[in-house]
Amino acid sequence: MSETGAEPSVFSRIVARDIPATIVAETERIIAFVDINPQAPVHIVVTTKTEAYRNVVELAAGDPGLLAELVAVAGRVATELSDGQFRLVFNTGAAAGQTVFHVHAHVLALKPSEDGAT
Ligand code: 5GP
């Protein structure tokens, strides 16, 4: 069971290694893995290990330090897998496209060889 008493979210199941994912970064409180349905050449989900916060607004209000950690991990992953230039997207609410109500960011980037740089 999750902290909320509901079934664990799909991301909590990835944290628990209950379902597989390609994990690209992990800290004590944050995990980052390849999105199963990529929308860009580099598409990484960065999420908190806790599912106490449903979206970024709740996380910002409840634990701003954890939000800062999430953004720092996103930046590191983008630097490692791309060139450090990336979109950071927090879908917030079903009408905005959010499907997993466990706060997470999408890192969307090009691979280094695809960014036109020589
Ligand atoms: P949202 O639509 O909530 O902003 O983003 C949820 C994201 O999680 C989607 O991009 C979706 O592809 C991804 N996702 C959902 N289930 C899984 C899964 O089991 N494994 C992985 N790696 N990504 C998932």
Residues contacting 40, CB < 8 A, separation 6+: 87, 108, 109, 110
Residue 118 included in any domain? no
- 93 Ramachandran zone, left/alpha/beta (phi>0; psi -120 to 50): left
Q: How many CB atoms lie within 10 A of CB 3?
A: 10
Look up 43 and say whether it is catalytic.
no
Domain of 31 in residue numbering reads as 10-113
CA of residue 46 to ligand 1 center, whole Å: 10
pLDDT in tens, 38-75: 999 999 999 999 999 999 999 999 999 999 999 999 99
Q: Which atom of ligand 1 is nearest to the CA of 39?
A: 10
Residue 20 included in any domain? yes
Residue 3 included in any domain? no
Query: Structure pTM?
Result: 0.94
Query: Domain holding 19: CATH number?
Result: 3.30.428.10
ipTM value for the complex: 0.99
Residue 2 included in any domain? no
CA distance 4 to 23: 25
